[in-house]
Structure formats: structure tokens, C-alpha cells
Amino acid sequence: MNHNPEPLIVMQDISKVFKTPAGNFIALERVNATFYRGEFVSVQGRSGSGKSTLVNMVTGIDRPTTGTVCVEGICIQELSESRMSAWRGRNLGIVFQFFQLLPMLTVLENVMLPMDFCNQYSVQERPERALALLKLAGVEQYADMYPAAISGGQQQSVAIARALANDPPIIVADEPTGNLDTRTAEGVFELFRGLVTQGKTILMVTHDEELAGRTDRMLHLEDGRLINDHPGNTGIHTLKQESTG
């Protein structure tokens, strides 16, 4: 795979400290990582090791206590909340373990919702685009149904279609297959692999060793520290030398 030599995401010396009644808790400690366009990255580690905290530094759902996260040169931790949500809408698709579709909207409406927020596609083209994304995810036949009426795997496929609504360059998925059976998880993985082939960059938190082994690059966290950053078993990834760190 040819990586654009320009880094897409640069995390520099990220620490995250949560203040708790029991005192300060260090969820991330001096993490450095650079991601390139078209990389499929998995993030592994025990429960509580800081995986969600780490990927939420990229989504801007949370901000580092110290350190910087820059995406194409924009240091996102410096953005105001309103600029952050505008930035997120255009640049990120987020997929969660529990799908988080809105129950009172149909499948099609769920996929159109981020387009309504972002205004990148005209009102006229939104339904057609949403349907095309549902088709890509293999669930277009459920377009007019409500999320409760379809299976977990189908809901996750819808959530992935929704994540693609504004054609973001980056997909962040936090245990996207954590609630799916093996066969359905495989479908989600294949969908992600196809998106990476098209040039998307994916950060995927997972507990599934087998799936992680098939990503291009595997990160391991332990107690908030990045203890390992190495290529997956696909053999198509060559690790860049970090100049920082």
C-alpha cells in the first residue's frame, strides 16, 4: 500500500488525566502516534487500558490534558465546541459498539441525519445518497424500517452507512464488532477493509485478536501507555519511523 507521505493524524505526547473523587487518574500517558491515509489500525488492550480515551482524542469527543492531536495540520484540541462539531461532521465517521441509531427515525432517516447537520449534500440528493450507502453496507432493503425491527448486525451496518454520510476521510470505530456474532463481525470487517481500499483511514478498537491481526497496524495499550505499535499480519503495511517520541 502506498501511503501518502503527509501524515493524516499526528498525536504528540498525549496525556489524559481524569479528576476523580479518589484523586487524579492517568488514563493516557505520553502517547505518540502518527497515522497515514489508507491505514487500517487496530487498538487493543485490556478493559480500562485507555482505548476509548485514545480514539476519543481523534474524534474530539474528549480532549487531551497535555499534548496535541493534529489532523491535516488542524490541532483539534484547540477548536471551540462549535468549530469542533463542524470539523467532526466533515472529517469523521464514528461507529460505536451499541450502534446508537435513533429509534424514532427510520433507517434511511438515520443515515440522512448527519447530512442534515453538515449541509455538504443538497436536500434533494440526500435520500439517494443515503440509499446508496445502505446498499454499500448491504442493508438497503431495511431503509423504511425502524432500528428496533432489524438485527444487531443489520443495525451496525446501518451505523456504518451513517458514519459514511458526509464521506469523511477517517472512521473511528470503538469495538464495532463487540456485540456481534463471528459471522456478522466478519461482514463488518470486510466492509471496513473495502473502505480502506478506497483510501479511508480506520481506527478500530477491538478485543478480537483474529480481526486485529488482519489490520495493517496494531496498537497495544497497557495502563494508558502505548506499549506496542507494529504491523498486522497482512504484510501490506510498512511502519513509518517516528521522528518524535
Of the candidates 169, 232, 218, the residue with the CA atom closest to the CA atom of residue 33: 218
Regarding 67 and contact with ligand ADP (CB under 6 A), the answer is no
Question: If DSSP codes are grouped into helix, strand and coil, which group holds residue 5?
Answer: coil
Regarding 51 and contact with ligand ADP (CB under 6 A), the answer is yes
Residue with cell 492531536: 69
Q: How many residues appear in the chain? A: 245
Of the candidates 94, 62, 83, 87, the residue with the CA atom closest to the CA atom of residue 165: 94
Q: Which does 67 bind (CB under 5 to 8 A by kind): Mg ion, ligand ADP, none?
A: none
Regarding 50 and contact with ligand ADP (CB under 6 A), the answer is yes
Regarding 18 and contact with ligand ADP (CB under 6 A), the answer is yes
Q: Terminal CA-to-CA distance of the chain, rounded, Å?
A: 25
User: Considering only residues 20-79, where is the footprint of Mg ion by CB under 5 A?
Assistant: 51-52
Nearest-CB residue to Mg ion? 52
Question: If DSSP codes are grouped into helix, strand and coil, which group holds residue 26?
Answer: strand
Indicate which single residue of 12, 52, 166, 215 sits in contact with ligand ADP (rule: CB under 6 A): 52
Dihedral sign computed on CA atoms, order 62, 214, 223, 228: negative
Regarding 49 and contact with ligand ADP (CB under 6 A), the answer is yes
Taking the C-alpha atoms of residue 124 and residue 163, their distance in angstroms, rounded to an integer, is 20
Q: Which is nearer to ligand ADP, 25 or 98 (CB)?
A: 25
Number of residues forming the site for ligand ADP (CB under 6 A): 12
Indicate which single residue of 4, 24, 48, 213 sits in contact with ligand ADP (rule: CB under 6 A): 48
CB atoms within 10 A of CB 166: 20
**How many contiguous H segments (helices) and E segments (strands) does the chain have?**
7, 10
Q: Which is nearer to Mg ion, 115 or 173 (CB)?
A: 173
Q: Which is nearer to ligand ADP, 110 or 206 (CB)?
A: 206
Q: Which three cell numbers stand for residue 69?
A: 492531536
Closest distance between ligand ADP and the C-beta of residue 235, in Å? 27
Q: Which does 80 bind (CB under 5 to 8 A by kind): ligand ADP, Mg ion, none?
A: none
Q: Which is nearer to Mg ion, 52 or 106 (CB)?
A: 52
Taking the C-alpha atoms of residue 13 and residue 25, their distance in angstroms, rounded to an integer, is 17
Contact of 138 with 155, CB cutoff 8 Å = no
Q: Which is nearer to Mg ion, 52 or 91 (CB)?
A: 52
Residue numbers at the binding site for Mg ion (CB under 5 A): 51-52
Residue numbers at the binding site for ligand ADP (CB under 6 A): 18, 20, 25, 27, 45, 47-53
